[in-house]
Amino acid sequence: MEEQKEIIADLHIHSRFSRACSKSITIPYLAKWARVKGLNLLGTGDFQHPEWFKELDVLEEGEGIIYYEGFPFLWQTEISLMYTKDGKGRRIHYVILAPNKEVVKQITKFFGSKGRLDYDGRPIFGFSSIELVEAMENIDKDIEIIPAHVWTPWFGIFGSRSGFNSLKEAFEDKADRIHAIETGMSSDPEMNWRIKGLNKKSIVSFSDSHSFWPWRIGREATIFLGELSYKNILKQIRENSFKATVETDPGYGIYHWDGHRDCNFSCSPNKSKEINNICPVCNKSLTIGVENRVEQLADNPLGFMPQNAKPYYKILPLHELIALAKASTLASKKTWQVYNSLIEKFGNEFNILLFVDKTELAKFLPNDALLVELIIKNRIGNIKVKPGYDGVYGEALMPEKQVKLF
């Protein structure tokens, strides 16, 4: 039996019209760097933004896929809902996938009736999650709604600051219309397996990238199989039949531990409990991170794995490894020189991170034994990370420092 083709997809990105995003994002740059990363499919990001839609509108339409010079994109956006339910303010982000341009126009018309679309690529609306599901169903039943980065404190559906305790609480009798959740960088599938209400849902991963650089785009992704069409991607999301996901170490995410960015303080959930969730620097409530929040809502024990669980790769971006080995920064000339030479030799970043044999790497990098070691350790999820917190990224640690800190 012929092996099915893999489609490594990042279906949660943004355009340059979203706040806090690179102003250099263009379709050509996204396509270029997706290829360098090793991605086979990208979300368009921000399809309802009028200026960005003009740029997308000229691309070649396929089977629910649009193409820029042969590189495929799938119609995708993210919106923010801010509303009150059960006496509590809710702020939830959703990824929305659409099957074709005509449906995108209908979605845009609906959003336009609810608020402005030109001020931000990730628009904010005041209607509820239930209303979102009902509206999208009325437009087209092939629209997919995925709660984004579900555990982040401020804008995740399970977030400690403004989220819910379950999908049922958020969607009531519409909860079965939600087929998948997005892990977000601060959680991984294993953490989500601990929630019984998610055991029959697909657990997908995408980057929520705010730029086209390869240490952002594709840092989290989902691996689909077979035909490159919207219907095939949708089917695998709804049936939990995709192959696997690509995850960063959850400690790499900016909300994994509890803490205060302004106070330069972070701590584990156990330490937070000892100090009653109060910052010892400013004596105000800590921002409760993802690990703590998962523990609060967990039904299943640590290590639980549902029968339909998908495998996943836990890897840090290649730039992180090079910067660590070279004592440089992500975007330094030194880091780029090594990165570009590896890409020229081995084709794309995912190939280097996941598949190139250690012997080949060592032969190509005869004077970089540490970098080769880090790539191989990364491949098996064996690089320790100082956890991120309250908007601060986690930090990869050198092997010799791990014993002291962990």
pLDDT in tens, 148-205: 999 999 999 999 999 999 999 999 999 999 999 999 999 999 999 999 999 999 999 9
Residue 1 clears pLDDT 50, i.e. is over it: no
pLDDT-derived band at 405 (thresholds 50, 70, 90) equals very low
* pTM of the predicted model as reported, rounded to 2 decimal places: 0.96
Average pLDDT of every residue of the chain: 96
pLDDT in tens, 354-378: 999 999 999 999 999 999 999 999 9
- What is the set of domains in the chain, with CATH numbers? 6-251 (3.20.20.140), 318-382 (no CATH)
pLDDT for 402 = 42
- C-alpha atoms less than 13 angstroms from C-alpha of 94 in its C-beta half-sphere: 28
pLDDT in tens, 59-101: 999 999 999 999 999 999 999 999 999 999 999 999 999 999 9
